[in-house]
């Protein structure tokens, strides 16, 4: 038997819950939380939490605390007989077409458009099913970079989440070496499963994906492979700014960086941090509210492996998980 807890919420609250939720992650049997838009005209959103056991008062109180706008609302608790919470949670996940890529759940496996590059990414503990504007923006930017003639041979995906952006990189540049990292071991476990589902080879060398659990760029394998022709970081504005020196050190002169996870009002502070490290803005994509930035590292800033140590993320840093 499964259970669902539903509460109304605002769009801002829904977007704030799109990343890690430390209050829930600390629970032994954490529910799977999905937010969805109920009515575009009125701006109504809803939080749905799926779990295997009947929820207690403490969990209901915790969920209500995550959506302050629902203060005074009684959570709707319902028992779901003989149903799979994964299937239920995916009912609101529409497929995403971004550039040549078509990202879908199992529910849409028979509806792949001809000529597209499909990826099957089901709901999981990691973020990055393609449905959020930041992930879709990164996919479109990767496609745009490839159509412009770029051919990176060495790529790093920092904060990989489900592995989707790394998979897209290998689809575009099959001979490239790609390393994907995340601070959350669960994300790397999810990426391994998604790689098997989507026929992505794991391992070292060209055409294979290497995985690493790491805060930011702090991992021997990431340092050893640098400098990179392309660094992808779809995380959050705070970590993007904190990691600017490290990403600059890891990017080859003339190399590209794709940054996302920031909202529009955070774009200038993020750009300022990367301009200070020798990057220039080459293109802006994504949506109006969730921009995706394509940066190029100026050639006068060379690779500086011996001159500085990589930043080691402190416990106070925001999550490095992917959107």
CA torsion, ordered 258, 136, 220, 183, to nearest 10 deg:
120
Q: Are 247 and 255 in contact (CB under 8 A)?
A: no
Distance CA 255, CA 284 (A): 16
Confidence (pLDDT) at 149: 96
Confidence (pLDDT) at 18: 65
Is residue 118 within a helix (H) or strand (E), and if so which, with residue range?
Answer: strand 117-120
Which distant-in-sequence residues (6+ apart) come within 8 Å of 136 by Cβ? 96, 98, 103, 130, 286
Tell me which residue of 125, 173, 119, 177 sits closest to 146, measured CA to CA.
Answer: 173
Which distant-in-sequence residues (6+ apart) come within 8 Å of 307 by Cβ? none
Binding positions: 135, 159, 182, 234
For residue 189, the 8-state DSSP code is H
Confidence (pLDDT) at 315: 33
Distance CA 305, CA 226 (A): 8
Q: What is the per-residue DSSP string for 223-249?
A: HHH-SEEEEEEES-HHHHHHTHHHHHH
The end-to-end CA distance of the chain, in Å, is 30
Which distant-in-sequence residues (6+ apart) come within 8 Å of 130 by Cβ? 96, 98, 101, 103, 119, 121, 136, 139, 164
Q: Cβ-count burial of 199 within 10 angstroms (0-12 exposed, 13-18 middle, 19+ buried)?
A: exposed
* Sign of the CA dihedral with 183 first, then 186, 192, and 195 last: negative
Confidence (pLDDT) at 4: 87
**Tens digits of pLDDT across the chain (323 residues):** 478 899 999 988 887 876 667 888 778 777 878 777 777 677 789 888 888 788 899 999 999 999 999 888 899 998 875 544 444 444 456 788 899 999 988 877 778 889 999 999 876 544 444 456 888 999 999 999 999 999 999 999 999 988 999 999 999 999 999 999 998 888 898 899 999 999 999 998 899 999 999 989 999 999 999 999 999 999 989 999 999 999 999 999 999 999 999 989 999 999 999 999 999 999 999 999 899 999 999 986 444 443 343 443 333 344 444 44
Distance CA 284, CA 5 (A): 38
Length of the chain measured in residues: 323
Domains and CATH numbers, the chain: 2-90 (3.30.70), 126-297 (3.40.50.150)
Binding positions for S-adenosyl-L-methionine: 135, 159, 182, 234
Confidence (pLDDT) at 123: 64
Distance CA 274, CA 270 (A): 7
Bond preceding residue 24 cis, omega within 30 of 0: no
From the CB of residue 79, how many other CB atoms can be counted at a distance below 10 Å? 10
Q: Are 258 and 297 in contact (CB under 8 A)?
A: no
């Amino acid at each position: 038997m499964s259970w669902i807890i539903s509460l109304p919420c605002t769009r801002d609250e829904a977007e704030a819950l799109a990343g890690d939720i430390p209050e829930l992650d600390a629970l032994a049997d954490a529910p799977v939380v999905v937010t969805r838009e109920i009515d575009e005209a009125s701006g109504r959103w809803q939080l749905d939490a799926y779990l295997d056991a009947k929820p207690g008062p403490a969990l209901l109180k915790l969920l209500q605390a995550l959506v302050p706008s629902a203060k005074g609302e009684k959570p709707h608790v319902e028992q779901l007989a003989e149903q799979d919470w994964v299937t239920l949670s995916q009912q609101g996940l529409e497929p995403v077409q971004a550039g040549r890529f078509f990202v879908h759940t199992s529910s849409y496996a028979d509806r792949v458009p001809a000529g597209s590059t499909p990826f099957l990414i089901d709901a999981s503990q990691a973020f990055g099913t393609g449905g959020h504007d930041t992930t879709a923006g990164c996919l479109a930017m990767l496609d745009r970079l490839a159509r412009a003639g770029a051919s990176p041979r060495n790529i790093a995906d920092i904060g990989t989440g489900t592995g989707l952006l790394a998979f897209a990189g290998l689809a575009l540049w099959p001979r490239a070496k790609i390393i994907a990292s995340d601070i959350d071991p669960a994300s790397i476990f999810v990426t391994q499963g998604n790689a098997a589902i989507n026929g992505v080879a794991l391992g070292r060398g060209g055409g294979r994906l290497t995985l690493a659990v790491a805060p930011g760029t702090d991992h021997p394998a990431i340092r050893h492979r640098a400098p990179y022709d392309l660094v992808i970081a779809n995380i959050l504005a705070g970590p993007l700014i904190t990691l600017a020196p490290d990403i600059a050190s890891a990017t080859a002169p003339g190399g590209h960086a794709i940054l996302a996870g920031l909202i529009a009002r955070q774009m200038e502070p993020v750009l300022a941090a990367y301009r200070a490290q020798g990057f220039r803005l080459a293109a802006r994509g994504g949506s109006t509210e969730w921009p995706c930035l394509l940066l190029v590292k100026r050639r006068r800033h060379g690779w500086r492996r011996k001159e500085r140590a990589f930043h080691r993320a402190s416990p106070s840093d925001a999550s490095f998980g992917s959107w």
